[in-house]
């Protein structure tokens, strides 16, 4: 069982992962992939995602 002091940390980390998934989808990237990367790397994944350019829509 988790100690009570650690619960807000896990909630914040999970919320960040959800936000990153939405941000990734807005940039035409895989939301699921960035959700998992965010769970592993947290704020570092956010930084990389923010710095990456938006993927162009494919014509074909």
Q: Is residue 58 part of a domain?
A: no
Whole-angstrom CA distances from 34 to 2, 4, 9, 55, 58 are 26, 28, 19, 14, 20
14 has pLDDT over 90: yes
- Answer for the pair 18, 35: CB distance below 8 angstroms, yes or no: yes
Q: Could you tell me the pLDDT band of residue 3, with boundaries at 50, 70 and 90? A: low
Q: Is residue 40 part of a domain?
A: yes
- pTM for this model (two decimals): 0.80
The pLDDT mean for the chain works out to: 88
Q: Which residue has the tokens 């895989």?
A: 30
Q: Is residue 59 part of a domain?
A: no
Q: Could you tell me the pLDDT band of residue 7, with boundaries at 50, 70 and 90? A: confident
Q: Could you tell me the pLDDT band of residue 24, with boundaries at 50, 70 and 90? A: very high
Looking at residue 6, its pLDDT comes to: 65
Q: Is residue 55 part of a domain?
A: no
């Amino acid at each position: 069982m988790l100690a009570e002091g650690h619960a807000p940390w896990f909630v914040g980390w999970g919320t960040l992962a959800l936000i990153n998934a939405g941000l990734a989808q807005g940039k035409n990237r895989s939301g699921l992939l960035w959700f998992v990367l965010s769970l592993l790397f947290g704020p570092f994944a956010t930084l990389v995602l923010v710095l990456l350019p938006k993927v162009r829509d494919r014509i074909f």
